Amino acid sequence: MLITFKSKASGDVIMLGQNGKEMLGVLGKDADAGQGILTVAQLPGAIILLEQAMAADRARRWAPAETGRAADQGVRLSQRALPVLDLLQRSLKGDAAVTWGV
């Protein structure tokens, strides 16, 4: 399953279902709804939530693991979220809503 985030202000962001649902959860949306919208009025709050989640993920990334090394778990939330953050920022600037599943 794929989740496609769309906006008239930017190109689509396509994510695998699990990763897309994770993004929706971070953005405070129902990950199981199948479709939805972030209105222009909701975008500033969504951007803040996503930036906070990315910062927390980066902090965990560099926290010492039990072995004394930084934890390396492949592609992190902070990396996967960059295209979504860019889409949200462009949508806010372009006064366009973001939708998925429609």
Residue 62: how many other CB atoms lie within 10 Å: 8
Q: What pLDDT, on a 0 to 100 scale, did the predictor assign at position 75?
A: 83
Q: What pLDDT, on a 0 to 100 scale, did the predictor assign at position 60?
A: 83
Strands of the 2-7 sheet, one edge to the other: 10-16, 2-7, 98-100, 36-38
- Residue 66 above 60 pLDDT? no
DSSP alpha helix (H) spans, 1-102 = 17-26, 43-62, 77-80, 82-93
Q: What are the sequence ranges of the domains in the chain?
A: 2-100
| pLDDT bucket at 52, cuts 50 / 70 / 90 | very high
Query: Is residue 31 a contact partner of residue 25, using CB atoms and an 8 Å limit?
Result: yes
Query: What is the per-residue pLDDT across 77-90, written as a single tens digit (0 to 9) for each?
Result: 999 999 999 999 99
Q: What pLDDT, on a 0 to 100 scale, did the predictor assign at position 46?
A: 97
The separation between the first and the last C-alpha atoms of the chain, rounded to the nearest angstrom, is 14
